[in-house]
Structure 1
Amino acid sequence: MDGPWDQLADGLRLRVRAQPGAKADRIDGLHAHADGRPALKVRVRAPAQDGKANTALTAFLAKRWGLKKADVTLTAGQTGRDKTVHLRGDPAELAARLAADCE
């Protein structure tokens, strides 16, 4: 299975399968969609209410990979579990940081 990201000129586009309302913020590795596309499964404690889970998700990912909050942007999936997140930075460095969480 390939990684859950696509390389862009200014960073990575990351596919995420989010689970709000979890007991802890954590990454659970890869999730395979029915069509075979991989996504990174991420749990956040915040509820899926008024955008709280989306805010918690982007803040958690920024902290996890040493990015500024402004460098992690939700670009699709605001109301669903399947989301797309743009990570701004050097694509090779970002891919190396994410690789460990995808094992």
Structure 2
Amino acid sequence: MGWYRYDKANNLVLTLHVQTGAKNTEAAGLQGDALKIKLAAAPMEGKANTALVKFLAQHFDVPLRQVILKQGDKSRHKVIVIQQPVHGPEVLFSQLQG
């Protein structure tokens, strides 16, 4: 399985490996079957999860309420559902290439 898939409702499901405390928030390539995301936020009081949701909502051009943390609330390994994304998963990879 890859780092993304679409469910029956055509929502985008992302498998992510999150590294907190980075200099910048950005996608950093693949790590196993997950996309590695570096976050410029501390892993305390939900700040990292909030930063991740904002980052993904901005890139996929959706409201915050359409980015749902399904698994991994207190883990580096997270599963995120993006409801009705405007862009496909390549929007995260485009910043890696350019």
Give the equivalent residue in structure 1 for 2:68: 73
Residue-by-residue CA offset, 1:32-82 (whole Å, 9 max, x unaligned): 1xxxxx111101111000111001001001112212111111110011100
Contact map agreement 1:3 1:102 (CA 8 A) in 2: no
1:18 equivalent in alignment to 2:13: no
**Stretches (4+) displaced over 4 A:** none
Distance 1:102 1:48, change over 3 A: same
For the aligned residue pairs, the C-alpha RMSD in angstroms reads 2.2
Number of equivalent positions: 96
Give TM-score, length-normalised by structure 2: 0.84
**In structure 2, what is the Cα distance between the partners aligned to 1:88 and 1:64?**
13
Moved more, 70-79 or 3-12: 3-12
How far did 1:98 drift? 4.8
Give the equivalent residue in structure 2 for 1:54: 49
Identity %: 31
Give TM-score, length-normalised by structure 1: 0.80
Contact map agreement 2:70 2:80 (CA 8 A) in 1: yes
* 1:94 alignment partner, SS class: coil
- For 1:1-103, list aligned pairs within 5 A: 3-8=2-7, 9-32=9-32, 38-89=33-84, 93-98=87-92, 100=94
Q: Which runs of 5+ in 1 are unaligned?
A: 33-37
* 1:56 alignment partner, SS class: helix
Moved more, 50-59 or 66-75: 66-75
How far did 1:18 drift? 0.3
* 1:70 alignment partner, SS class: helix
